[in-house]
Amino acid sequence: MFRNSLEFAPRYGMQNSTPKRHAKAVIKSGAVVQLVRIPACHAGVAGSSPVRSAISLRFPSRPMPQQMKIPIQKFDLPLWHHFDVEFSLIRLDLTHPHVSGNKWFKLQPALKQARLSSHTPLLSFGGAYSNHLHALAYAACQEGLTAIAIIRGEEPSVYNPTLQDLKRWGMQLHFVSRAEYAKRYDLEYQEYLKHKFGNFQLIPEGGSSAEAVHACARIWDVIQQDQTFPDFLGCAMGTGATVSGLISDKPESVKVIAVPAIKVDHTTALAMLNDHWLKSDLKPKDGFQVLAGDLPYARISPMLAALWQRLFACYGVELDPVYTLRVYHRLSRMLLQGAFPRGTKVALLHTGGIQGLRGSIDRLSRLANVYHGPLPI
């Protein structure tokens, strides 16, 4: 047991990258985590040095382990300093090196159910860089469970680091066409999968279920209580389970801002959240804002690539370009538009996903090099 400290997990593919100049980063004491040795068969990840220690991966019957406390890390970025608005990251990505961020919470209900029937395989869906499948593969390996992945797109001749990890951790990979993948919610297609693979426990794409929404509502419980909650919290929205859970149990003083990671209008994004609240029998609390998504999923523009590169290289802010980078960009735009009064605190929920960087660093660098213009930092 280590008190008053929290070990930062080695970042995927970034071990040799040293930020040239760091912004002021403050993590208050009080974090209590449990560190354990990971068995050698589980420790290695493609494109990364072996992880020597990590927060214990245990999915108890209780909603969350009581010893887990997530820090709020403040960054003194020039743009935010100019407007006298405090910017922070809520470091949910530190929950575990492989089951990081919101995935830790979303997978808990499914794994709890799986332990009751250990011989029933787990089956889920995702893309070739899926953070959800990556977390599920590791958790299933740790729990001794069989896991099956239905992966969108043709099987590549060379596996990327994410797929290498899935294979190494024993997940069965089945690649399907995009047309077939689009049927993943159809009951008839799910019956076809049962005929093909036998009985299985279905975990929806992204791990999003009514139970997962309830689990994500507990994120507030693990943020260090000796730190003041922000006035505004920005959170990425993929399937919407994490954001809907956060909004349903948020403190009254916090306004949650949902930033879609897909190209979608405001009305459709709000309908996605309403669907989660209906199915989970939860109600939203007042004080939230749902933005429209302005880019297709996983689309990275040269400006966003340059923003990602500058944030990490100069200020030590490492974000996932598919989800959390978009949140930062939208929050900074809101800052420039006067949405955040002087003296207020704005935080970004870091939902993890850094493992996907291993297959996209070169692409990000190429895109960043063609951008010439201002960046909101």
Q: Domain of 314: which CATH number?
A: 3.40.50.1100
Residues 192 and 85 in one domain: no
Residues 224 and 358 in one domain: yes
* Residue that is last in its domain, among 182, 207, 232: 207
In a domain, 374, yes or no: no
Residues 259 and 318 in one domain: yes
Q: Which amino acid is at 281?
A: D
In a domain, 283, yes or no: yes
Residues 79 and 164 in one domain: no
Residues 175 and 155 in one domain: yes
Number of domains making up the chain: 2
Residues 362 and 228 in one domain: yes
pTM given for the model? 0.85
Q: How far is CA 90 from CA 142, 194, 199, in A?
A: 27, 40, 39
* Residue that is last in its domain, among 207, 223, 257: 207
Comparing C-alpha atoms, which of 226, 313, 307 is closest to residue 23? Answer: 313
Residues 74 and 113 in one domain: no
Residue 145 contacts residue 121 (beta carbons within 8 Å): yes
In a domain, 181, yes or no: yes
* Residue that is last in its domain, among 207, 235, 269: 207
What tens-digit pLDDT sequence spans the chain (377 residues)? 222 222 323 344 433 333 333 344 433 333 333 322 333 334 445 654 322 223 334 443 333 445 688 999 999 999 999 999 999 999 999 999 999 999 999 999 999 999 998 789 999 999 999 999 999 999 999 999 999 999 999 999 999 999 999 999 999 999 999 999 999 999 999 999 999 999 999 999 999 999 999 999 999 999 987 788 999 999 999 999 999 999 999 999 999 999 999 999 999 999 999 999 999 999 999 999 999 999 999 999 999 999 999 999 999 999 999 999 999 999 999 999 999 999 999 999 999 999 999 988 999 999 999 999 999 99
Give alpha helix (H) positions in the chain: 40-43, 78-82, 102-116, 131-143, 161-168, 178-181, 187-197, 210-217, 219-222, 241-248, 266-280, 302-315, 324-336, 361-369
Residues 181 and 214 in one domain: no
In a domain, 54, yes or no: yes
In a domain, 48, yes or no: yes
In a domain, 4, yes or no: no
Residues 162 and 177 in one domain: yes
Residues 164 and 242 in one domain: no
Q: Which domain holds residue 132?
A: 107-207
In a domain, 214, yes or no: yes
- Spatial separation of the C-alpha atoms in residues 176 and 215, rounded to whole Å: 30
Residues 337 and 271 in one domain: yes
Residues 240 and 307 in one domain: yes
In a domain, 142, yes or no: yes
